[in-house]
Every structure is written in C-alpha cells, then in structure tokens.
Amino acid sequence: MNTVLKTAILPAGEAAVAAAAHALARGGLVAFPTETVYGLGADATNAAAIARLYQAKGRPAFNPLIAHVGDLDAARRIGRFDASALLLAEAFWPGPLTLVLPKAADCAVAELATAGLDTVAIRIPAHAIARDILRAFGRPVVAPSANLSGHVSPTIAAHVHSDLEGRIDLIVDGGAVAVGVESTIIGIFDQPMLLRPGGLPRADIERVLGRTLQEPPEDTESDSGQPLAPGMLASHYAPRTKVRLNVDRIEPGEALLAFGLGAISGIDEAAAVMNLSARGDLDEAAANLFGFLRALDTRAARAIAVMPIPNDGLGEAINDRLRRAAVGRE
Ligand code: TXA
Ligand code: MG
C-alpha cells in the first residue's frame, strides 16, 4: 500500500475523462474538479479501491464518504428518498448539496465507504467534467475532498498535487472551482437536519422545505452511538499556522485575512494581507477562502488574524470552516 504512484496530470477534456473512467474501473484514485472543491474519486463499489483512498488521504475509516452519481435514477438506486429528499433533489441537483439518506435495499456502495452506517451520503455535482467522468464510468464514485486528511480542501489542481502527489493515479486539471467550500450536507431523518453548512445557503433550503432545518445535537451522536456527521471533527480544515478569529486589531508579525473595507488597526505591521472580498461579497470570499489560507500558511506568520465575516448566505459555511481552522490553535 505504500508504493509510490506516478501521478499523471491531464487538462480537462475528452482524453482526461476517458483516462479517469479507465483508472476508476481498475480501482485507481482520480482527483477531479467539482463546483465546490476538488474531489478524490474511487469506485464506490470497490472496497479495495476505497481502502486505498482512505490510505492515500490518511483519513480515519470511521469517517464515511459521499457517493457521487450522475442523475436522480442512479441516486435512487443507492438511497431511499422520502418526499422532502425528493423536493430538495429536484430543486438543487446537480449542485452543492449532499443528502444523507437511508440506504436502498440493494445499495451497491461498499460498506467501507459508509463506515458501517445504515445511511448513505449522495450528491450529484454540477461541474461538467465531474459529470462527464460519472457518465463515462457509469457507477457511483466516492469522492472526499482531494486533500490530506485534516488539511484545507483544494480549490485548484496545484493544491491537490502538493498534498497527494505520489499517492494517487491521476489529477484532472479543470482550473479553479466556482464555489470554493464543500457541499451543504442535509440529513433526512425525522426532520431534515443541517449536518454541515456549505456551498448551498441554508436559507435556500429552508425556503424550498417551507420550514427551518433541525440543528444536530451538541454531541452529534445518534441513538446508536454512531456520530451523525462523523467528519465534523472539531479541528479540521486546518492550516499549520494558528488562526485567530474576529480580530479588530492585528499584532505585529500576524498575517491578515481581511473581508470588506472595514478599518483595522495594526495593519502596517502585518506580515501579509489578503482580502477575501474587498467589496464584501460572500460568494467571492468563499471562492477565495481555502486558497488564501494555504497562501498565508506559507508566510511564517505568528498567526493568521481573520476579520469578522457576516453569517448570512455562504458566510455560515465560511465561519464554520474558519472556526474549525482555529480550534486548538487560539
Ligand atoms: O463538496 C463536497 O461535498 C466535496 C466534493 C468533492 O463533492 N466532498 C467532500 O467530502 O467534502 P468529504 O469527505 O471531505 O466530506 C464528506 C462529509 C464528511 O464530514 C462525512 O463525515 C460526511 O460527509 N458523511 C458522509 N457519509 C455520511 C453519513 N452516512 N452520515 C453522516 N455524515 C456523512
Ligand atoms: Mg474533506
């Protein structure tokens, strides 16, 4: 399992799609762009391929994976949709939404990918290359974000390369992703529950459902003792540099992650300054977030000091990721 692989990089296009489908069919690991972040794909029905995927990412195998499919028919072969699941699927797929559903009776997704849960996470991505690969391959593809476990998710192919070179077979380079934070995860339990804020704003989902989403319980343990959202480990999405949130002044030697044009004291002594969105646009900020965290992480700053970011729209996902980046480092 520790064999060093030669990681090929191909520009998005027909040849890359064919190579990706071929590699997946052989049990290989293929990174490809989705509209949220780059994913690291493996054949969802092949336990050996999934074991290699956990190994390549250094990801604990109790943290289950999202099965990506090309259309609703394929989704309905692996998960059981109730009325609210169908409503959300029809409103938002393809797109940055993942639904956690009871497994269908003949669900082909390997047990290892669902970490032994009786639910399965499903998403139809909106990116053209991701959809071409899913169509060419013809089976569900599990795809976590294509980063080393615990690290910041990749938004360009170079991020994937720097984390996973020599550990995976192929990277399909489709340029920068559009959304920049991972999909919103909704658990379809008794009531729809927001398991992870993400690229689809909560308000859009609540509008379609006609009610507010449930919040996960504090300890995120279900009755069976299984974590409801096992990946929501407190420290996650973390740069190596310490992260300090909601700052109104920066200390000498800190790097500033700014938002909007608000005033901040100490800026002249900053080690570096990057602005997520000078015009205060949360969509633009989400698209820049992970790339800027990676860039500031290379500046040997004392800390990354982050200005306050409003919590509406994609702000909820941005603040969630920043809180996780700050855990244990404040
Ligand atoms: O945008 C995205 O969702 C990206 C792209 C590549 O599609 N994928 C992604 O995957 O973010 P990953 O593995 O980094 O995050 C998946 C999350 C984890 O927190 C995992 O615990 C949760 O989904 N998850 C998967 N299956 C689950 C299940 N059956 N019940 C609860 N949570 C589940
Ligand atoms: Mg991830």
pLDDT score for 330: 41
The rounded Å distance from CA 144 to ligand 2 centre is 5
- Model confidence pLDDT, tens digit, residues 137-148: 999 999 999 999
pTM of the model: 0.94
Distance CA 223, CA 225 (A): 5
- Model confidence pLDDT, tens digit, residues 263-281: 888 888 899 999 999 999 9
Output the six-digit token pair for 310. Answer: 């409003």
Using the predicted structure, report yes or no on whether residue 3 has a pLDDT greater than 80. Answer: no
pLDDT score for 225: 46
- Average of per-residue pLDDT across 225-232: 55
User: Which one has a higher pLDDT value, 112 or 327?
Assistant: 112
Q: At the fourth CATH level, which superfamily is domain 243-326?
A: Threonylcarbamoyl-AMP synthase, C-terminal domain (3.40.50.11030)
- In a 13 Å sphere around the CA of 198, the CA atoms on its Cβ side amount to 21
Distance CA 32, CA 20 (A): 9
Ligand 1 pocket check for 239: Cβ under 6 Å: no
Own/partner contacts of 193-198, CB < 8 Å, gap of 24 or more, are: 193/228, 195/100, 195/228, 195/229, 195/232, 196/98, 196/229, 196/231, 196/232, 196/320, 197/316, 197/317, 197/320, 198/36, 198/96, 198/97, 198/98, 198/317
Ligand 1 pocket check for 277: Cβ under 6 Å: no
CB 89 within 8 A of CB 73: no
Pocket mutation for ligand 1, best pick of 36, 97, 185 (most atoms within 8 Å of C-beta): 185
Ligand 1 pocket check for 230: Cβ under 6 Å: yes
Using the predicted structure, report yes or no on whether residue 204 has a pLDDT greater than 90. Answer: yes
May I ask the CATH class of domain 8-209? alpha beta
The rounded Å distance from CA 5 to ligand 2 centre is 22
| 40 alpha carbon, closest ligand | 1
CB 294 within 8 A of CB 239: yes
Ligand 1 pocket check for 35: Cβ under 6 Å: no
Q: Which residues of 272-301 are buried (b: 16+ CB within 10 A; e: fewer)?
A: bebbbbeeebbbbbbbbbbbbbbebbeeeb
pLDDT score for 150: 87
- For the CA of 39, the closest atom of ligand 1 is 6
Using the predicted structure, report yes or no on whether residue 234 has a pLDDT greater than 60. Answer: no
Distance CA 245, CA 301 (A): 15
Neighbours of ion ligand 2 (CB under 5 A): 145
The Cβ of residue 99 has, within 10 Å, a number of other Cβ atoms equal to 29
Using the predicted structure, report yes or no on whether residue 122 has a pLDDT greater than 60. Answer: yes
Domain ranges of the chain: 8-209, 243-326
Ligand 1 pocket check for 113: Cβ under 6 Å: no
- Average of per-residue pLDDT across 179-197: 96
